[in-house]
Amino acid sequence: MTEKKELNTRGAQLDFVCVESGCGGVVKFNLMELNQSDFQAMCPKCHRPYAFDASLKEKFLKLQSLILALRDAEPILGDCNVAVTVPAGEVKIPYALLLTRLNTMITLNLGEKKVDFHIWIEPTSSDTFR
């Protein structure tokens, strides 16, 4: 039971470039805090607040479930590989290595625009994000 609680409290930071014309600020929020009553995402540069509609929130919650499932699978990730066929044969890349070395993002509609949400899981510090 303690292990499940720990899975739910670790952060998963999402960030995206503010959609306000000419701003370019990076809006950051913790995906695991999305359902909190005081949740707020705001651009640090232009101070535009962001509220997510039910459809977008549902997609974020599915992403949250995926991240929690990966965390639950951590004990076996070292045994899982992605195989890439190359001329010399097959190269096995550990799945856990892929999760830590590739940039992960999800592209969703925010209003009328397609926006890339970058996903940062368990950073060593908040400075790790952009």
- CB count in 10 Å sphere of residue 79: 9
Spatial distance between the Cα atoms of 41 and 5, rounded to a whole number of angstroms: 24
In tens digits, the chain (130 residues) has pLDDT values of 334 434 444 578 899 999 999 999 999 999 988 888 888 899 999 999 998 888 999 999 999 898 888 888 878 887 889 899 999 999 998 887 777 777 788 899 888 889 999 988 753 334 433 3
Q: How far are the Cα atoms of 13, 62, 72, 98 from residue 124, in angstroms, in the given order?
A: 12, 24, 20, 18
Residue 110: its pLDDT value, please? 86
Q: How far are the Cα atoms of 71, 102, 119 from residue 66, in angstroms, in the given order?
A: 9, 17, 12
